[in-house]
């Protein structure tokens, strides 16, 4: 790859395999505190994923793979059959954490396949660590490729609206949607960002502003409900978000509120882009209607951290994602190239 791949990496490490442990940057404490956690039990990795200490589809996959490698190292079994039975339980526990991010299941499937590479238990344990490191490396490389492809779409002087958090914290490497933005900026285009705060857990306010400020990209925080106002008055040149799962026809699940942005973008004739590695694509699903949407605890809506924001007992709904039908998506930026309608053929081509 060219000069652009030499761009400076983030000065924080959201996840790494270190001395037989998984080190993660606890994203629930950002931006107030930068705390790294060393996890050496796969159950702790599963909890970290469930509690969003580590979050964002690609990095959930990487964490899941490391979790399996970690769990496998502690299995006490003399024969392969017993070992594989124990491993299945570990994979099931990690797979039960968050249902929407395709990357988690992509990584778990790869980890299952990696077991055939070893002839005996110690060999398989070693293969599993190697496979997790390889998944991490590939996902990181994918963010570099897609960022370079996507950066070509952004013009000098543009204001880009983004939702949730899609930087290195969410995907390793450069990130997905934020990777595209940061790359275009570093290539010399004067890009400005409008970042949605992203209710209810404020990934945009807490994490996207933090990452963009570190990258030196000008960012203005807005509440989710301001997006239409800025689009209507001509203050947005394009919208880019990440994805948690993309169906075979291009329908895309992403953080709740993405569908609203896509409809608003179409109404205001603004391009709407999705940026994701191909590991987010699930060709087993014909359309987005089949995507399992994670429903999270109502308390995430009725309180913020320890502060109650609604009367005690208020009923609240909390779907964590929504599905944007493909006809609202101008293009999907992947590490294998940019896909436009027809998504069915384009997706087959990149896979
Ligand atoms: O619930 P989260 O914070 O894991 O949701 C993350 C998102 O929706 C991201 O936009 C998506 O995973 C793409 S991450 C590069």
Boundary-marking domain end, from 116, 144, 172: 144
Please determine, for residue 4, whether its predicted confidence score (pLDDT) is greater than 50.
no
Q: 273: part of which helix (H) or strand (E)?
A: strand 272-275
Can you give the pLDDT at residue 9?
A: 59
Please determine, for residue 6, whether its predicted confidence score (pLDDT) is greater than 60.
no
255 lines ligand 1 (CB under 6 A): yes
Q: Tens digit of pLDDT for each residue in 200-210?
A: 999 999 999 99
193 lines ligand 1 (CB under 6 A): no
166 lines ligand 1 (CB under 6 A): yes
Q: Tens digit of pLDDT for each residue in 118-169?
A: 889 999 999 999 999 999 999 999 999 999 999 999 999 999 999 999 999 9
User: What is the average pLDDT value for the chain, to the nearest integer?
Assistant: 96
CA of 120 to the centre of ligand 1 (A): 37
What is the domain range of residue 77?
4-144
Confidence of residue 7 (pLDDT cuts 50, 70, 90): very low
Pocket test for ligand 1, best of 53, 55, 103, 164 (most atoms within 8 A of CB): 164
296 lines ligand 1 (CB under 6 A): no
Q: What is the CATH number of the domain that holds 30?
A: 1.20.120.420
Does the annotation mark 244 as catalytic? yes
Are residues 221 and 123 both part of a single domain? no
Dihedral sign for Cα atoms in the order 19, 134, 281, 265: positive
The structure tokens listed for 19 are: 């001395």
Boundary-marking domain end, from 144, 174, 207: 144
Q: Tens digit of pLDDT for each residue in 271-315?
A: 999 999 999 999 999 999 999 999 999 999 999 888 999 999 999
Strand-pair partners of 193: 160, 219
Q: What is the CATH number of the domain that holds 315?
A: 3.40.50.10470
Q: For the full predicted model, state whether its pTM sits above 0.85.
A: yes
Q: Is 216 in contact with 186 (CB distance < 8 Å)?
A: no
Please determine, for residue 262, whether its predicted confidence score (pLDDT) is greater than 50.
yes
Are residues 264 and 331 both part of a single domain? yes
CA of 85 to the centre of ligand 1 (A): 31
Q: Is 193 in contact with 160 (CB distance < 8 Å)?
A: yes
Please determine, for residue 93, whether its predicted confidence score (pLDDT) is greater than 70.
yes
Are residues 59 and 164 both part of a single domain? no
Are residues 154 and 131 both part of a single domain? no
202 lines ligand 1 (CB under 6 A): no
């Amino acid at each position: 790859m060219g000069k652009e791949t030499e761009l400076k990496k983030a000065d924080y490490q959201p996840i790494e395999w270190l001395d037989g442990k998984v080190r993660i940057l606890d994203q629930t404490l950002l931006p107030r505190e930068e705390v790294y956690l060393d996890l050496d039990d796969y159950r702790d990795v599963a909890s970290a994923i469930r509690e969003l200490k580590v979050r964002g589809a690609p990095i959930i996959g990487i964490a899941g793979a490391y979790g399996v490698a970690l769990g496998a190292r502690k299995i006490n079994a003399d024969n392969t059959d017993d070992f594989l039975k124990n491993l299945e339980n570990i994979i099931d526990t990690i797979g039960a954490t968050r249902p929407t991010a395709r990357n988690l299941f992509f990584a778990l499937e790869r980890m299952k396949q990696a077991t055939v590479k070893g002839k005996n238990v110690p060999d398989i344990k070693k293969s599993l660590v190697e496979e997790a490191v390889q998944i991490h490396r590939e996902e990181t490389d994918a963010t570099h490729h897609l960022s370079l492809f996507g950066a070509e779409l952004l013009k000098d002087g543009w204001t880009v609206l983004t939702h949730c958090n899609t930087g290195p914290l969410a995907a390793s490497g450069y990130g997905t949607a934020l990777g595209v933005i940061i790359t275009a900026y570093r290539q010399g285009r004067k890009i400005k960002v409008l970042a949605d705060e992203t209710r209810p857990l404020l990934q945009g306010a807490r994490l996207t502003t933090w990452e963009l400020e570190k990258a030196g990209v000008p960012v203005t925080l807005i509440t989710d409900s301001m997006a239409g106002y800025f689009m209507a008055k001509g203050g947005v040149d394009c919208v880019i978000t990440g994805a948690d799962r993309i169906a075979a026809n291009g329908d895309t699940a992403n953080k709740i509120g993405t569908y609203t942005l896509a409809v608003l973008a179409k109404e205001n004739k603004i391009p709407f882009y999705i940026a994701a590695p191909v590991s987010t694509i699930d060709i087993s699903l014909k359309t987005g209607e089949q995507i399992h949407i994670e429903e999270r605890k109502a308390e995430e809506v009725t309180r913020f951290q320890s502060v109650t924001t609604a009367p005690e007992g208020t009923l609240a709904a909390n779907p964590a994602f929504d599905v944007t039908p493909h006809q609202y998506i101008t293009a999907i930026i992947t590490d294998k190239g940019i896909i436009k309608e027809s998504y069915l053929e384009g997706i087959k081509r990149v896979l």
